[in-house]
Amino acid sequence: MNQTFGNTGLKTSPIVYGCMGGAGAFGAQEETDSIEALRAAFDVGINFFDTAEAYGAGYSEQLLNRALGAQRSEIVISSKVAEQNAAPDDVITACERSLKNLGTDHIDIYMLHWPNRDVPLAETLGALKSLKDAGKIGHYGVSNFGSADLDEALALGEISVNQLPYHLFYRAIEFEVQPKCETAGVPIMCYSSLMQGLLAGKYRSLQDFPVNRARTRMFDHRKWAEVVHKEEGAEAAGQELLDALWTLTEETGLSMEELAIGWLKSRPAVGGVIVGTRNGEQSRGLKKLLDVELEASVLQALDGASEPLKQALGADIDMWGKGRTR
């Protein structure tokens, strides 16, 4: 079931447990539920856990330690240094803080969370390399790096991962970034894989989607209070895709989650698909996502159904339209 993650030599589950929600990113969360969710994910076969110092100001890392500290030798941990800490001394300090939060002497994969335009990337990656040389991290990489940023990073050294937004409703990385990752042998970790729950099989219409989650470029800025971009969105194409997905669930007998995650697992350069849960029961349901493999005809149908929305939204990989990537 486990696979080798890129060139790291790490054996990882294809599903990565995303720890952001446990720190309250999606609403009030009981700590006991978060810990049970982490332990249940491990119990069903997930050994890869993704967190960041930005998730609850370190609280997410602390939760992971409380839940699975005793299993540290059996799990792979990725964490991220916030972009405001991209200066070399700040990278070192942030890593030490994360190590303490996680209760470990090393982080398997450590990433720069977002590009920082005020600190030369060479300096940030230099600090990450020094951490690797010191044994504090096993491998380093980037997150939310678009085509130009990725070119710069690859020219500077060994990039072991690029964590990116990627799902059926947002295929922007396919235009430029995914092919470059594939060529360079850089695995992609997909986040927002279920698009804040839109791909969880609960909503028949985009109009039923919770307003506090409707923030991506697909949504028309004139209609949704949480949207910060100024684009008109592509809601007609989005609704057509949602309708097609419901039809496919009926035709295949698979859940929308299985369709969404099975499709991502089949995509070029994808090394891990991040999925989060809110309690143990939801985590136990991740077993079906670990096992799902879609037939070629279903993959083709998903490609075709999502292509119009892909073209409508284009190649901007910043899913929220904030202009942070290039």
pLDDT digits (tens, 9 = 90+) for 136-161: 999 999 999 999 999 999 999 899 99
Contacts of 224 (CB under 8 A, 6+ apart): 211, 214, 215
Least confident range from 223-227, 273-277, 309-313: namely: 223-227
Q: What is the set of active-site residues?
A: 55
- Residue 3's alpha-carbon distances to 14, 18, 106, 265, 274, in angstroms, are 7, 18, 21, 12, 15
Residue 72 confidence (pLDDT) above 70: yes
Q: Cα separation of 142 and 272, whole Å? A: 14
Indicate the pairing of strand 3-4 with strand 11-12.
antiparallel
Please report the pLDDT score of residue 259 as a whole number: 98
This prediction's pTM? 0.96
Q: Cα separation of 249 and 298, whole Å? A: 10
- Give yes or no for a contact between 278 and 33, defined as CB atoms under 8 angstroms apart: yes
Of 193, 192, 143, which is closest to residue 163 (Cα–Cα)? 143
For residues 80-97, average pLDDT: 98
Report residue 189: phi and psi, to 5°.
-100, 120
Q: Cα separation of 316 and 326, whole Å? A: 8
Which two structure tokens, joined as six digits, stand for 141? 């990489």
Residue 320 confidence (pLDDT) above 80: yes
DSSP secondary structure string for all residues of 177-196: HHHHHHHHT-PEEEESTTGG
pLDDT in tens, 255-300: 999 999 999 999 999 999 999 999 999 999 999 999 999 999 999 9
pLDDT in tens, 167-197: 999 999 999 999 999 999 999 999 999 999 9
Least confident range from 27-41, 63-77, 113-127, 232-246: namely: 27-41
Instruction: Quote the mean pLDDT of the chain.
Output: 96
pLDDT in tens, 106-141: 999 999 999 999 999 999 999 999 999 999 999 999
- Give yes or no for a contact between 319 and 167, defined as CB atoms under 8 angstroms apart: no
For residues 52-81, average pLDDT: 97
Give rounded-to-5 percent helix, strand, coil for the chain.
45, 15, 40
Question: Which DSSP symbol is given to 268?
Answer: T
Contacts of 169 (CB under 8 A, 6+ apart): 195, 198, 199, 216, 218, 238, 241, 306, 309
Q: What percent of the chain is predicted at pLDDT more than 90?
A: 93
> How many other C-beta atoms lie within 10 A of the C-beta of residue 103?
15
Q: Cα separation of 18 and 100, whole Å? A: 20
Please report the pLDDT score of residue 226 as a whole number: 84
DSSP secondary structure string for all residues of 83-96: GGG-SHHHHHHHHH
Question: Which DSSP symbol is given to 168?
Answer: T
All domains in the chain, ordered by first residue: 3-197+268-292 (3.20.20.100)
Please report the pLDDT score of residue 29 as a whole number: 79
Please report the pLDDT score of residue 212 as a whole number: 87
Which two structure tokens, joined as six digits, stand for 238? 């989005």
- The residue type of 14 is P
Q: Cα separation of 262 and 298, whole Å? A: 10
DSSP secondary structure string for all residues of 135-161: TSEEEEEEES--HHHHHHHHHHS----
